[in-house]
Amino acid sequence: MSATSDREHEERYLAAYDPRDYDPVSVTVDVVALTIRDGTLHVLLVRRGNPPFEGMWALPGGFVRGVRDAEDLPEAAARELAEETGLSVKAGLARVHLEQLGTYGAPGRDPRMRIISVAYLAFAPELPDPRAGSDAADAAWAPVESLGLTEAATQWPGTTRRLAFDHARILADGLERARSKLEYTPLATAFCAPAFTIPELRAVYVAVWGEELHAGNFHRKVLSVPGFVESTGETTERGGRRGGPRARLYRPGDARLLHPALLRPSREEEIR
Amino acid sequence: MSATSDREHEERYLAAYDPRDYDPVSVTVDVVALTIRDGTLHVLLVRRGNPPFEGMWALPGGFVRGVRDAEDLPEAAARELAEETGLSVKAGLARVHLEQLGTYGAPGRDPRMRIISVAYLAFAPELPDPRAGSDAADAAWAPVESLGLTEAATQWPGTTRRLAFDHARILADGLERARSKLEYTPLATAFCAPAFTIPELRAVYVAVWGEELHAGNFHRKVLSVPGFVESTGETTERGGRRGGPRARLYRPGDARLLHPALLRPSREEEIR
DNA sequence: AAAATAGTGTCTTTCAGACAGTATTAA
DNA sequence: TTAATACTGTCTGAAAGACACTATTTT
């Protein structure tokens, strides 16, 4: 076989697999946006206004603009987060940490057509209540605990519904990623205001890990990790609600990795 | 606005974003397949037989079958790995560890059209030389070091070429993931034969991390981590090439996470 | 015999976690 | 005044890394 006919063969072969012709796959982004409210972990959900899964809660997301106004994946995630919730960059979206979580593409995960979804994970400081975007019936911060990801169905705002599509799995993966990231990166500060106290930082760990932490040991540990936090020299205006001295304020340091890491106390179950 | 016209609005809105109509995005899988050969880390590459980047080396990959014979993403990755290299499940592909690495979708990463690629990372024990698959001109295990990912262009089998598309970045991300996974999971055993010695396991760490490790401390450390390895009761038939006693043989244990982890010695640079 | 390697013992330093204790603030 | 809380001190045990050493094997 000559090189030319080889190439012709290759081109025919490639053309046969060009999905534009007859094998359409659509790409969406979905966002697991986490924040801390009232000391507990919340996730941003939208209520679907259309079938399938109409009326159920789902992660915010939508189609990636492919060719016309083509956008990169992180852009698409930020756009969906803004569009579907009414949160603007001005309203605090600028301080949100965004990272890719994973891609979910099992055939049948969307009953309408073949959709491959790139999931993003967002860590947000406390943000205002969202308003429903263009194709959502509602939007709200939902307490993660209330979604009962480990148990069977559960209740949240008056329903017993689970999340639409495979979003429960995506959320579970996002939570595990968040718990893990808190161990070896300083990303807990992404949940905090620009200046925060060590007890506030500890509250983030407690909310995300779902475990109590020893206040004294945590304090000393955080200060001993180089670059985790740096002092602003200020303190809070008042002590705690129920008494106690005023706490010193810190801002995020320049470390990108925590060394040594802050390991979760009880991981024995996950090891095997 | 009535509920009905609401729904009609939503459907028009959704239809406007259905990429099947006018905004085509194609999805491929690419595989970063790593193995250890002659004590150094190698990656599986194919030489492109078609433009763009014709003649350059690239990661094995191809289009995901979307609707006709729809396949899940890990299936697509395994299929591409087999197709493009001639390696069969019988030839050892069954023992390959496959995990999702990340998704790369910057507009312009493929000059022909908008392509979003889901990258997979594979850890393989020593496998036979590949043969070129249907749309590759050649396929080979390439020493990772020779690709000079941190420096500028480099030489490998007679060329000074870099990898096609954004595959250098994908490979770099895969390498960092592999280095990191060796710290806190027992996946180093995925690079080994079913029965292996502690020095062989150490060679995996040395090859992936690119750092010498203290033999005695490594030995004691591996045996002290619960579930990392378990003894077969056997030893090697002969001692080392240049002398030394025969080594005991082990198989992978039942741990999914290493606790405590085996941390890389020098990560000071990466921390900030 | 010489050199290399497998595997073990020991010491020092670091760090996690338990616990106690002091100072400061709100109620 | 009481209770809660921020923060520090101290002790113990686990673990990492440096180093020395013995035993076994090949050349």
Per cent of chain B over pLDDT 70 is 85
Whether the per-residue pLDDT at B72 is higher than 70: the answer is: yes
Res B5: pLDDT: 46
CA distance A174 to B126: 34
Closest-CA distance of chain A to residue B202, Å? 22
- Among A37-41, A134-138, B51-55, B100-104, the range scoring the smallest mean pLDDT is A134-138
Is the bond preceding B143 in cis, omega lying within 30 degrees of 0? no
Q: Inform me whether the pLDDT recorded for A159 exceeds 50.
A: no
What would the DSSP string read from start to end of A9-57?
Answer: HHHHHHHHT-HHHH---EEEEEEEEEEEETTEEEEEEEEE-SSSSTTSE
CA A171 to chain centre: 8
Radius of gyration of chain A (CA): 22
CA-to-CA distance for B85 and A119, rounded, in angstroms?
Answer: 30
Tokens of B89: 């499940």
| Interval A71-98 mean pLDDT | 87
Given a contact cutoff of 8 angstroms between Cβ atoms, the answer to whether A259 and A248 are in contact is no
CA of B54: which chain A residue's CA is closest?
Answer: A7
Q: Is A24-178 in CATH node 1.10.287.130?
A: no
Whole-number pLDDT of residue B18: 56
- A235 vs A239, residue with greater confidence: A235
What the block records as the tokens of B186 is 């027992």
Mean pLDDT of chain B: 87
Q: How far apart are CA B165 and CA A225, in angstroms?
A: 39
> Do residue A272 and residue B259 have CB atoms under 8 angstroms apart?
no
Closest by alpha carbon to A97, among A227, A186, A225? A186
Question: How many beta carbons lie within 10 A of that of residue A108, not counting itself?
Answer: 10
Distance B249 CA to C5 C1' (A): 15
pLDDT-based confidence at A219, cuts 50/70/90? very high
Whether A3 shows a pLDDT value over 50: the answer reads no
Residues 226-245 of B with CB under 8 A from A: 226-227
Are residues A50 and B14, on separate chains, in Cβ contact within 8 Å?
yes
Residues 59-118 of A with CB under 7 A from strand D: none
Any alpha helices (H) in chain B, and if so which ranges?
A: 3-16, 19-22, 73-85, 167-184, 198-209, 215-224, 268-271
**What would the two tokens of residue B123 be?**
């850890």
Domain ranges of chain B: 19-177, 185-271
Higher pLDDT, B95 or B15: B95
CA angle B145, B214, B249 (to 5 degrees): 90
Fold designation for B185-271: Arc Repressor Mutant, subunit A (1.10.10)
- pLDDT higher than 90, residue B17: no
Per-residue pLDDT at B3:
43
- Rounded to a whole number of angstroms, the distance from the CA of A51 to the nearest CA of chain B is 9
DSSP string for B166-195: THHHHHHHHHHHHHHHHHHSSGGGGGS-SS
Digit-coded pLDDT (tens) for B129-178: 998 877 778 999 999 998 876 544 444 554 445 899 999 999 999 999 99
Give percent of chain A with pLDDT exceeding 90: 66
| Paired residues of A208 in beta bridges | none
- In chain B, what residues touch A135 (CB-CB under 8 Å)? 10, 13-14
> Please, which residues have CB within 8 angstroms of residue A253's CB and are 6 or more apart in sequence?
A186, A226, A227, A228, A229, A230
- For residue B88, the model assigns a pLDDT of 80
Q: Tell me the per-residue pLDDT of B115-133, one tens digit each, with 9 for 90 and over.
A: 999 999 999 999 889 988 7
**Among candidate residues A222, A230, A160, A227, the one with its CA nearest the CA of residue A194:** A230
Instruction: Say if residue A136's pLDDT is above 80.
Output: no
Average pLDDT value for residue range B224-229:
97
pLDDT at A49 over 80: yes
The answer to whether residue B84 scores a pLDDT higher than 90 is no
Question: B71: buried, middle or exposed (CB in 10 Å: 19+, 13-18, 0-12)?
Answer: middle
What span, in angstroms and rounded, lies between the C-alpha atoms of A56 and A68? 31
Q: In the predicted model, what is the mean pLDDT of chain A? A: 86
**Residue A95 to chain B, least CA–CA distance (Å):** 20
* Domain covering B19-177, topology: Nucleoside Triphosphate Pyrophosphohydrolase (3.90.79)
**pLDDT reading at A140 higher than 80:** yes
What is the model's pLDDT at position A270?
A: 56
Residue type, B241: R
β partners of residue B45:
B140
The interface residues of chain A toward chain B in range 97-136, judged by CB-CB distance below 8 A, are: 100, 102-103, 105-107, 113-114, 116, 118, 134-135
